[in-house]
Structure 1
């Protein structure tokens, strides 16, 4: 069975077992044409289900708002540790920081003031802010994770104010357009699928109302296709393939967004939350990064895969369904990403000899000890690296970059001790004989903290 046939079988089984009226799925990677598949009935007689059918993506919308916030930070319009009240006229909770709102650790109640899921009447942009004094701070700032649509509604109004336009205009101009996400829209187009509530005890399905979220749009309003969302997932995980020129966001900023700021459950550390992004650990060294979405009649998931052997560049997947209750939709996206690596791994690139390490770093290469523990230093891909000797070869190394004009002082730019300095000490011949990493001494022989060799024992 081909890889495509296996993918199709997984999707067909999910649609049948999960009783999802319509399911649209896409896999994207840099070295293949996108794989797109649909199964079911759109519920729209004038527009039968096809790859251009639009589904509501719910809270995946939050990832677009988060990117807009980080764009604003990179452009010098805000600091992530600014209180929201510095930029918006809010009647309460102005001390909540932008960073805490992005990571759902500001303690805001989940929804805006009022029973909007009873009335299906959301506040407009002005009301979202004006009614903050009626909304609770259900937890102290920074106490723990607590998901909040209200928090992201406020962030959406923040970027709208900073950019001088409505949130929908800003996301279209600064994200959707540059990435070519032409099927992603604020409102449902004519080819939109109908969303359903599927009965637990029969095969009946009730159409759900289409709800305009007004001022809460930055948290969950958008509609899209599986193809657009697979591209978006690829961008979130591997911006170099989807946005090679950094038109939307610098790759280093997306690294920052993906780093977990909190866990969603203190007892079971299986899901992390970064700056607007969900981080789902998989097997060793592998994570899936993206977001899920839920709105009346719809569930959606879009994730990109990072790390591990055989990973194709830019691997992202999206699963959009027209059921508001079938949790299988959120499971299929992770299964497809895993299968894509197992069934159609990245091509193996032949090893080629490269230029040697620069002369000033050649005496660093080899085995060293720090705190009595062995490390190996090497030069690969144009950078000095270090790894604990006991770790497997595929474990992420520490990577160093020299400070400008100071070849003997390097910054750890990734891996162990990120941010710390590595200082080289040379003898009269220029050979590196000792190093200090994060201020800990690094030596060629195994030494105690008093400088004595371990092999000397107590002598």
Structure 2
């Protein structure tokens, strides 16, 4: 994905560089490198450094910390899509003998397993993985902090166990599975378990003085699936493009959409931050963004994707802490690009050879006295919208092999929609998960649960 200077307007490029430069200066970071992806390829890169006339290139490795979890999650979802496991399976079904056995795969992916946030013993991020040689060393005698499935509680050991699950089902070390299934197909040639030159050094910056302290570059062993990886701005730009669109060689766009749905969220419309299946979620007036932040001693990173804008942003820095969080800077790069150069809507185009039976279903429908409209979209998709607020939340229904439809989003996500026909073959009503939709308010009477007053409307 080459960076072409004419991909973004000069004012946009200057605003992006100014934001990165401000982050490096005010964040007191030895160096920082960033990239923006649009429509599947890199459209901007930038870098700043404490060394005059020198800045890291997009191919310099940094440690990416918990962005590693997005890779681990994709490996697990690949196993699910192949039928090797179900997200509802308890871990012990596939990886017996751990203290987290009753937790389900989905709970581990979404940090709702209730497991401890960190390993027992010395701080795993700064100590050699040889100190934790077995899975039993990843969790203490009392591994749970909350009942499973009841609360979001971030767990690094939980993702280490997911990496061990991948190893068990694939019969290969996690790093080898990662290389064969993700790194090679997507061309992430500079993403590795251990650093490969050229790579940045990791530093702690003194909180009250402008001095540095080198941080150790440890191999975390069994904890690697939670935060071990090293990568570059160029490789993570490719990864962001994959997270936006999918790649059928690796994971479909439909499964990626599943990963970015909140796991056990509050009621729709009330949340601004959450977690899906291995992906952190953030929502505001600009829409939904997803990705991950990453921290390891000496390094911080951020990666966010906006699927609607088909935008991604990556920021890598080599300081343990500071007032400028690379994840927040990456979010700002998304916002700057979208505000300076908003994505124009796709042109409207008519359907090609629409299904006449589905076309006949379109128009007004009524649930009791509440009015809806049914629309036919591309791919034989039906969309049900409230008539009073046609731009408001509705549900899209994807066709299934049995002639019915299944809700994709909104209140009716996962619910079945069936076309019920009369004896003569005409459409009698629609059954939406036991809700009856008719062509007239409360009619025909024989379709309405509980019947209709025989005197009718009066």
Smaller-chain TM-score bracket: 0.7 to 0.9
Question: Whole-Å Cα distance in 2 between the matches of residues 229 and 111 of structure 1?
Answer: 26
Q: Specify which of 338, 345, 365 is matched with residue 341 of structure 1.
A: 338
> Which residue in 2 is equivalent to 1:143?
150
Distance change (3 Å), C-alpha of 1:123 and 1:79: farther
* Aligned mate of 1:17, from 26, 30, 37: 26
- 2:288 is equivalent to residue 292 of structure 1: no
List aligned pairs for 1:204-353, cutoff 5 A.
204-239=211-246, 243=247, 246-262=248-264, 269-283=271-285, 286-307=287-308, 311=309, 313=310, 315-326=311-322, 327-353=324-350
Does the aligned pair in 2 maintain the 1:100–1:142 contact within 8 Å?
Answer: yes
Deviation at 1:350, TM superposition (A): 3.3
Structure 2: distance between partners of 1:130 and 1:199: 32
> What is the alpha-carbon distance in structure 1 between the residues aligned to residue 63 and residue 193 of structure 2?
10
Match of 1:167 in 2: 174
Deviation at residue 2 of structure 1 after TM alignment: 2.0
Query: Unmatched 5+ residue regions in structure 1?
Result: none
Q: Distance in 2 between matches of 1:107 and 1:66?
A: 18
Kindly indicate whether the alpha-carbon contact (under 8 Å) linking 2:215 and 2:297 is maintained by their aligned counterparts in 1: yes
Kindly tell me: are residues 413 and 49 of structure 1, through their superposed partners in 2, closer, same or farther at Cα, counting changes over 3 Å? closer
Quote the offset at 1:152 in angstroms: 0.8
**Equivalent residues in 2 for 1:29-428, closer than 5 Å:** 29-30=38-39, 33-41=42-50, 49-117=56-124, 120-123=127-130, 126-129=133-136, 132=139, 134=141, 136-239=143-246, 243=247, 246-262=248-264, 269-283=271-285, 286-307=287-308, 311=309, 313=310, 315-326=311-322, 327-355=324-352, 357-382=354-379, 383-393=381-391, 395=392, 397-404=394-401, 406=403, 409-426=404-421
CA 441–118 in structure 1, closer or farther in 2 if over 3 Å, else same: closer
Decide whether aligned partners of structure 1 residues 283 and 8 sit closer, same or farther in structure 2, where only a CA change above 3 A counts. same
Extract unaligned runs of 5+ from structure 2. Answer: 1-9, 443-447
Q: Scaled by the length of structure 2, what TM-score is found?
A: 0.87
Distance 1:163 1:31 in 2: 30
Asked if the contact 2:73–2:277 (Cα under 8 Å) also holds between the matched residues in 1, the reply is: yes
Deviation at 1:339, TM superposition (A): 2.0
Query: For 2:396 and 2:88, how far apart are their aligned partners in 1?
Result: 28
For residues 82 and 173 of structure 1, the distance between their equivalents in structure 2, rounded to whole angstroms, comes to 25
Q: Does structure 1 retain, via aligned residues, the 8 Å contact 2:35–2:42?
A: no
What secondary structure does 2:134 align onto? helix
Matched with 2:5 is: none
Secondary structure of the 2:46 match is strand
| TM-score normalized with structure 1 length | 0.87
Question: Is contact 1:89-1:129 (8 Å) kept?
Answer: no
Partners of 1:27 and 1:35 within 8 A in 2 = yes
- 1:108–1:354: structure 2 CA closer, same or farther, 3 Å change rule? closer
Q: How many residues align?
A: 439
Q: CA 1:234/1:262 → structure 2, altered by over 3 Å: closer, same or farther?
A: farther
Secondary structure of 1:181's partner? coil
Shift of 1:248: 0.8
Asked if structure 2 preserves the Cα contact closer than 8 Å seen for 1:38 and 1:50, the reply is yes
What is the aligned partner in structure 2 of residue 443 from structure 1? 438
**Distance (whole Å) between structure 1 residues aligned to residue 348 and residue 126 of structure 2:** 62
**Shift of residue 17 of structure 1?**
1.8
| Offset of residue 42 of structure 1 | 7.5
Q: Does the CA contact (< 8 Å) of 1:93 and 1:133 recur in 2?
A: no
- In the TM superposition, residue 123 of structure 1 has moved relative to its aligned partner by 4.4
Q: Deviations over 1:165-201 (max 9, x none)?
A: 1111111111111111111111111211122222222
For the 8 Å contact 1:145–1:263, the answer to whether it is kept is: no
